[in-house]
Amino acid sequence: MKPLLSKTTKPFLIYVLIVLMISIPVYYWVIDMIWKSELDEHNQLIVEKTAYEFKQLHLSDDQLKTSLKLWNHIQPETNIEKISADRIRKDSVYTSEKQLPFVSDKKKERYRCLKKVVYIQDKPYLFTIQTNIEESHETMGIIAMITILFFIIIVVGLLYLNRRLSSSVWKPFRETLDRLKTFNLNSQKTISFPVSDTAEFEELNESLYKLIERNISAYKTQKEFTENASHELQTPLAIIKNKLDILMQDQDLTERQYRIAEDMNKALTRSSRINKNLLLLAKIDNNQFNNSEIISFDNLLCQSIEILQEHFEQKNIIIQKQIASDIRVSGNSILTEIMISNLIINAIRHTSPGGTISIQLTDSVFEVSNSGTEKINTGLLFKRFSKLSADNNGSGLGLSIIQEICRFHHWTASYMFENNNHVFSIRLKLS
């Protein structure tokens, strides 16, 4: 996880660096072209001025020849030579490199050259002039260094300003985040967010405030429904069950009527159990249980085994126990007891008479395994009302309740089938 500032700063730095790297050759090309253009103009001006000055002298042929020879001698970078009419060509502008004979350094230098035909006393002369342009490299180097220097100054300044401004600009956002972290839906109290002069943060606070209010309202409604259903549905179900019990004790019932009443009683018992389990799931989803108790897991497990001992005896099931002592976890004792009972009852229900159930508890894992013949479909394992067997006595919610209780406690429930045994494991988060 990276902070937002680093995520925005890094692409910016990469972009600026790429632009800088591209700008250096572009700088070089532009400056070189400007330099050459200025030198071409300079060479053209020198040629025209020199030719004009020679014309104004009105020298004789011998004097002109002597003067041109002297000119070529004292001006090493220029040359004026008389040409015939057939050698007359268009002006030629080009760049050449040569090594100066009077310089010890063997480095070659660039020259901007111009060959132009001029007329002195109505006779054609080829005027060649060369001007050194090596200075453009030094100029380019200086510009590159200045560009890099300003780039460093800009980047360092922006990083400094970003870090200084982020602490003040993002302060309302961090305060909002801190208050959201402390929000607890069970308290049913709204949050007052800090006032911000930034439009986006103020809009965020308003949206969060409305969202929390709606959630609190929905939570209250759902909690009231759960509590009302717990009382209102159980009462008529209990009355109907009592009436059926009384009816089934009536000696005037025929055998057919008794079987019908018995089937009704079984369905009613299952409906009552489903109702209780659904209400339990709703309460878990609504976080209506306290999870701050320190639970003696091994004691709860031993109590549950003792309570269910009659069920083991009815199916002649062999029970194998390996229970470590003094295993304490943090959570809710009621939910933990329900999870242990559901897991063992599920094993009893799916174990054939004369089968074996193994119960193990270590300092980190609670495991229940029972003998079986075929692996359970793991895709339907923890889904509500999924049919994993032909047994219709269960509510279809036992394993779903186990998973929800594990999520509530931040435990991990898993299943595997090995050596003809169904193995359910709960990885505990110890206190």
Q: Tokens 């439009």 sit at which residue?
A: 199
Alpha-carbon span 226 to 384, nearest angstrom: 18
Q: Which pLDDT value is given to residue 216?
A: 82
DSSP H helices, 286-426, are 297-307, 309-314, 333-349, 398-409
**pLDDT, position 378:** 63
What are the pLDDT tens digits along the chain (431 aa)?
666 666 777 787 788 888 888 887 887 788 888 888 888 999 999 999 988 888 888 888 888 888 888 888 888 788 898 888 888 888 899 888 877 665 556 677 788 899 999 988 888 999 999 888 766 567 777 777 887 888 888 888 888 887 777 777 778 888 888 888 888 776 677 788 888 888 888 888 888 888 888 888 887 787 777 767 666 777 787 888 888 888 888 887 888 888 888 888 888 777 777 777 777 777 777 677 777 788 899 999 999 999 989 888 888 999 999 999 888 988 888 889 888 988 998 889 888 888 899 999 998 899 999 988 777 766 666 666 565 554 545 455 778 888 888 888 889 888 888 888 889 999 987 65
C-alpha torsion 70→76→81→87, nearest 10: 180
Burial of residue 142 (CB within 10 Å: 0-12, 13-18, 19+) is: exposed
What is the DSSP track for 304-317?
HHHHTHHHHHHTT-
DSSP lists the bridge partners of residue 396 as none
| Cβ atoms within 10 Å of 132's Cβ, excluding its own | 13
Looking at residue 185, what DSSP letter applies?
Answer: G
Strands 356-361 and 318-323: parallel
Task: Answer yes or no: CATH 3.40.1180.10 is held by domain 293-427.
Answer: no
What CATH number belongs to 4-149? 3.30.450
What is the DSSP code (8-state) at residue 86?
G
How far is it, in rounded angstroms, from Cα 339 to Cα 121? 119
The pLDDT value given to residue 390: 47
Angstrom distance (rounded) from CA 331 to CA 317: 31
CB contact at 8 A, 5 and 162? yes
412-418 β-sheet, strand order: 318-323, 356-361, 365-371, 421-427, 412-418
Domain assignments of the chain as residue spans, ordered by start: 4-149, 174-232, 236-285, 293-427
Task: Please state, in angstroms and rounded to a whole number, the distance separating the CA atoms of residues 197 and 172.
Answer: 9
Q: Please give the Cα distance from 379 to 386 (Å, whole number).
A: 10
Long-range contacts of 368-372 (CB under 8 A, 24+ apart): 368/343, 368/344, 368/423, 368/424, 369/421, 369/422, 369/423, 369/424, 370/421, 370/422, 371/420, 371/421, 371/422, 372/417, 372/420, 372/421, 372/422
How far is 115 from 104, CA to CA, in rounded Å?
Answer: 29
Query: What is the number of alpha carbons within 13 Å of residue 253 lying toward its C-beta?
Result: 16
pTM attached to this predicted model: 0.49
The phi and psi torsions of 59 (rounded to 5 degrees) equal: -85, 155
Give the amino acid at 178: D
Q: CATH topology of 4-149 equal to that of 293-427?
A: no
Place of tokens 């800009």: 154
Residue showing tokens 């002195």:
120
Other C-beta atoms closer than 10 Å to the C-beta of 258 total 13
How far apart are alpha carbons 166 and 148 in whole angstroms?
A: 26
- Residues 6 or more apart whose CB falls under 8 angstroms from that of 160 comprise none
Candidates 241, 291, 235, 246; CA nearest to 265 is: 241
What span, in angstroms and rounded, lies between the C-alpha atoms of 297 and 294?
9
